[in-house]
């Protein structure tokens, strides 16, 4: 149960209030299941870590040569991983998560990844009805204290157009770090589709505190939870 917390200090700044937001609302979505297939280390050194950074750059650039290859790796991983096969298979609707800006490029990474997955039979269709109505700070280039909160992401999202009856929604993103964006997107979608099973897939999982990475391709199943007014990714 999420407790109601009253702010005693009226001088609290807006960012502090935003971080307290999950504690001051009764939220229908308390956690979000996710899977990923690659790891990315911004700090570690070595050949595998260098490869992870190159992978991330290719994905961010929506490289048309490499994206189908990465989608193929996901498909092959699903053949021997029932949990991943269940996540990506069936009649699920793939919903790419918008970038930080209001005006999205036609080739934004999450959208291209979702299309590549759909091309090889993972998911029923790609639906781009989740949009930004206001821009947020780009997390990749911001200091930790300046990155958007879950509430800021949530308030920036809007569902633009209706979707026929859907029972399974899979949010698709390029990279998951803390999971704030995905958690906020899932909450916004759940308002519109309360009966849908909403889960998430990110091609890459950031492992920021690891100094050594031994494997680039590493399937992971985890969960993003509310924790002290913020998102906490496990693992």
Q: CATH number for the domain including 78?
A: 3.40.50
Q: Is residue 31 part of a domain?
A: yes
Q: Is residue 4 part of a domain?
A: no
* Nearest C-alpha neighbor of 101 from the set 112, 110, 92: 110
Structural domain containing residue 136: 27-234
pTM over 0.75: yes
Range 93-111 average pLDDT: 94
Q: Is residue 22 part of a domain?
A: no
Q: Is residue 6 part of a domain?
A: no
**In which band, very low, low, confident or very high, does the pLDDT at 174 lie, cut at 50, 70 and 90?**
very high
**In which band, very low, low, confident or very high, does the pLDDT at 225 lie, cut at 50, 70 and 90?**
very high
Q: What percentage of the chain reaches a pLDDT higher than 90?
A: 67
Tell me if 117 sits within 8 A of 74, measured CB to CB: yes
Tell me if 218 sits within 8 A of 37, measured CB to CB: yes
Evaluate if residue 15 carries a pLDDT over 70: no
Q: Is residue 18 part of a domain?
A: no
Q: Report which of residues 129 and 209 the model is more confident about.
A: 129
Q: Report which of residues 41 and 38 the model is more confident about.
A: 38
pLDDT of residue 107: 85
Evaluate if residue 123 carries a pLDDT over 80: yes
Backbone angles phi, psi at 216, to 5 degrees: -80, -50
Range 133-155 average pLDDT: 90
Evaluate if residue 23 carries a pLDDT over 90: no
Q: Is residue 191 part of a domain?
A: yes
Q: Is residue 11 part of a domain?
A: no
Evaluate if residue 20 carries a pLDDT over 60: no
Q: Is residue 7 part of a domain?
A: no
Evaluate if residue 3 carries a pLDDT over 50: no
In angstroms, the CA 122 to CA 90 distance is 8
pLDDT of residue 161: 75
Number of domains into which the chain is organized: 1
Tell me if 5 sits within 8 A of 23, measured CB to CB: yes
- State pLDDT tens for residues 44-66: 888 998 999 999 999 999 999 99
Mean pLDDT estimate for the chain: 87
Strand (E) positions, the chain? 31-40, 93-96, 125-126, 130-132, 157-159, 168-176, 197-206, 217-227, 230-234
Evaluate if residue 18 carries a pLDDT over 70: no
């Amino acid at each position: 149960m999420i407790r109601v917390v009253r702010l005693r200090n009226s001088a609290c700044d807006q960012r502090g209030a935003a971080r307290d937001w999950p504690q001051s609302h009764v939220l229908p979505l308390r956690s979000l299941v996710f899977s990923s297939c690659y790891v990315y280390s911004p700090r570690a050194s070595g050949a595998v870590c260098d490869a992870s950074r190159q992978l991330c750059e290719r994905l961010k650039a929506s490289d048309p040569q490499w994206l189908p290859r990465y989608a193929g790796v996901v498909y092959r991983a699903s053949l021997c991983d029932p949990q991943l096969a269940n996540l990506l298979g069936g009649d699920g609707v793939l919903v790419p998560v918008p970038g930080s800006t209001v005006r999205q490029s036609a080739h934004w990474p999450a959208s291209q990844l979702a299309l590549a997955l759909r091309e090889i039979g993972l998911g029923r269709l790609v639906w781009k009805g989740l949009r930004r109505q206001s821009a947020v700070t780009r997390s990749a280039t911001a200091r930790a204290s300046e990155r958007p909160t879950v509430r800021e992401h949530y308030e920036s999202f809007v569902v633009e157009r209706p979707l026929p009856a859907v029972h399974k929604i899979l949010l698709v993103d390029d990279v998951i770090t803390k999971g704030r964006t995905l958690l906020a997107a899932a909450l916004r979608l759940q308002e519109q589709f309360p009966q849908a099973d909403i889960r998430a897939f990110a091609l890459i999982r950031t492992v920021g505190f690891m100094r050594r990475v031994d494997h680039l391709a590493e399937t992971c199943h985890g969960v993003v939870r509310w924790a002290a007014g913020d998102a906490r990714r496990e693992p």
